[in-house]
Amino acid sequence: MAMKLDGAAMQAYKDMEVEVDATEFEVPPTDTSYTGALKDGKLSISISTSGMALMTMNILIYDREVEKIEEFTTTAGTYRCVKLKQKVRTKVIMNIEGSSTEWYSEGIGMVRSESYNGNGKLTGYTVLTKFGK
């Protein structure tokens, strides 16, 4: 689950104490024919400075499922991917509900991720555009 942290966003806390507690994030291999449910994932991030707690963020990824195995093409190439759908609950001050769809390729990692708000509207995405040296 710690791989879900956005490195650019975490730069804001570079001079602070950051404690991360994460569960294993299950992604099946692309050579499987498995579709169906996966274990939930949890991520907790506590940020403090000089011993004073500033913020705690809890992320729960649940109702996870493998939708299918498919080829996915980006400008970085074509990859055999596991397509996952899941719900996401983030709590900082209040709960924020949403969902996401993600494509993972073995040996590469996340190839594409789409985030949706609680009403199912696309709010953002990331896509692999370059891989290698």
For 44-78, the pLDDT digits (tens) are: 989 898 888 888 989 999 999 999 999 999 999 99
Give the model's pLDDT for residue 66: 94
> Tokens standing for 128?
């692999």
Q: Locate tokens 């730069």: which residue?
A: 11
Give the model's pLDDT for residue 77: 94
Give the model's pLDDT for residue 32: 79
Closest Cα partner for 80 from 7, 30, 10, 16? 30
User: In this model, does residue 41 exceed pLDDT 50?
Assistant: yes
- pLDDT (mean) for 103-126: 94
Kindly report the three-state secondary structure assignment for every residue of the chain.
CHHHCCHHHHHHHCCCEEEEEECCCCCCCCCCCCCEECCCEEEEEEEEECCEEEEEEEEEEEEEEEEEEEEEEECCEEEEEEEEEEEEEEECCCEEEEEEEEEEECCCEEEEEEEEECCCCEEEEEECCCCCC
Q: Which fold has domain 2-127?
A: YmcC-like fold (2.40.360)
Percent over 70 (pLDDT), the chain: 89
pLDDT band at 92 (very low <50, low <70, confident <90, very high): confident
Percent over 90 (pLDDT), the chain: 54
Give the model's pLDDT for residue 133: 61
**CB-based burial, 81-98: b 16+ in 10 Å, e otherwise:** bbbbbbbbeeeeeeeeeb
User: In this model, does residue 6 exceed pLDDT 60?
Assistant: no
Give the model's pLDDT for residue 49: 87
pTM of the model: 0.78
User: In this model, does residue 3 exceed pLDDT 50?
Assistant: no
